[in-house]
Amino acid sequence: MRCFAQCETAIRKSRAAFGRHMYHRATETYMPLDQQAILNRARSQLALGTTESLRYAALECRLLMEELTYEKLRAYAELLPEAELNKWQPREAVKMLLAIDPAADQGVKLAISALPAPEDRELIKEDYERMEWVPLGEHHALSLKWLKNYHKVGALLHAPKASESSTMPIEKQQKLLTDILEELTKAAGSTLRSIVNKGGLVFHCIGCNRQILANRMNLLKGSVALCPNDDCQFEYEIAPHESGEEPSAVRPKSATVACAKCAHLIHVPKRRLRAGHQFECSKCSAEYRLGEPSWPLMIRNAE
């Protein structure tokens, strides 16, 4: 578990991210499941200790793993392509989150200093150790590794395969479900529901102005970031920075032309550079359609 209380940059990051529970489109009407009720049902079924009751306990455990993961996805919704919000297997969803935030499956403790920090100098490690911290909350995350339990517990929901002689022994099932419930209780009891770590480079798409996050890991190795807006699809090349510290260069993979009517610069994503693609000038709304075969010489006004 990361502890933010000791780290200045982490605190800055978490301040920026604090309260950023972004919901959009389908997530706007979302009604959360009652996580404590799921836990209670799972516990009482586990306590009954029959083969059938354990099956129901397993079902409730899987339901809660999904709910906790989707809750996290919703917090990142602003930064994700809509198609990615449809990932339903917790491990797949968390893997995708890790691509934009390498800490997406880690827990966080958030604390704030009781006194304002001096502004005339950079704080050092000893300053943080001396300061008095007021805890704001804690987030217990289900790690990618732990989420293997989603499939493990799934085995209790099915009849033994033709190749297997029996299901898992009942004592083993009870042990598995007890351990899983312990972890789920911690996660469902998180006082901070989700932390979106924007500790990378956040920039606005030139095509649609949506926010795009390139995580720190990507900045170091150089990669491609994609606009999360499915209707836009601008791609950006992220050049690795030599020092490995500060944001590296971001270049849109696009063609740029001046509008024939108002001279406003129009950017067209590279992946849309094909005959027939239509777009308009965002300033004067002049409409264009790409002709054939070469760009940009064959651009012509659609009117």
Instruction: Provide, rounded to whole angstroms, the least separation between the CB of residue 284 and Zn ion.
Output: 3
Close Cβ partners of 162 (under 8 Å, ≥ 6 residues apart):
none
Rg (CA), the chain: 25
CB of 205 to Zn ion, least distance (A): 3
Region from 71-79, 173-181, 189-197, 253-261 binding Zn ion, contact rule CB under 5 A: 253-261
CB nearer to Zn ion: give 174 or 211: 211
* Binding range to Zn ion, per CB under 5 A, among 1-9, 112-120, 163-171, 228-236: 228-236
- Decide if residue 214 touches Zn ion (CB under 5 A): no
- Non-local (6+) Cβ contacts of 12 within 8 A are none
Question: Is the CB of 42 or the CB of 205 nearer to Zn ion?
Answer: 205
List CB contacts of 113: < 8 A, sequence separation 6 or more.
131, 132, 133, 134
Min CB(208)–Zn ion separation in Å: 3
274: contact with Zn ion by CB under 5 A: no
* 228 bridge partner residues: none
Q: Sheet holding 300-301: strands in order across?
A: 278-280, 287-289, 300-301
Quick one: which of 285, 278, 269 has its CA closest to 300? 278
Total number of residues that touch Zn ion (CB under 5 A): 16
d(C-alpha 5, C-alpha 63), whole Å: 33
- Given 15, 264, 274, 300, the residue binding Zn ion (CB under 5 A): 264
From the CB of residue 303, how many other CB atoms can be counted at a distance below 10 Å?
8
Tell me: does residue 271 bind Zn ion (CB under 5 A). no
Question: Contact with Zn ion (CB under 5 A): which of 90, 107, 200, 207?
Answer: 207
Give the pair of three-digit tokens for residue 129.
């150790």
The two tokens of residue 152 are 């493990």
Tell which one of 201, 227, 238, 268 touches Zn ion (CB under 5 A): 227
Reading the block at residue 274, the tokens are 């094909």
228 binds Zn ion (CB under 5 A): no
Binding Zn ion (rule: CB under 5 A), the pick from 93, 147, 219, 259 is 259
* 234 lines the binding site for Zn ion (CB under 5 A): yes
Exactly one of 151, 221, 251, 261 binds Zn ion (CB under 5 A); that residue is 261
Say which residues have a Cβ less than 8 Å from residue 112's Cβ, sequence separation at least 6: 11, 133, 134, 136
Cis peptide bond N-terminal to 116, omega within 30: no
Residue 107 or 228: the one with the smaller Cβ distance to Zn ion is: 228
**Which amino acid, residue 100?**
I
Q: Would you count residue 79 as binding Zn ion (CB under 5 A)?
A: no
Interface segment toward Zn ion; rule CB under 5 A; list 59-67, 122-130, 137-145, 209-217:
209-217
Chain residues binding Zn ion by CB under 5 A are 205, 207-208, 210, 227, 229, 232, 234, 259, 261-262, 264, 281, 283-284, 286
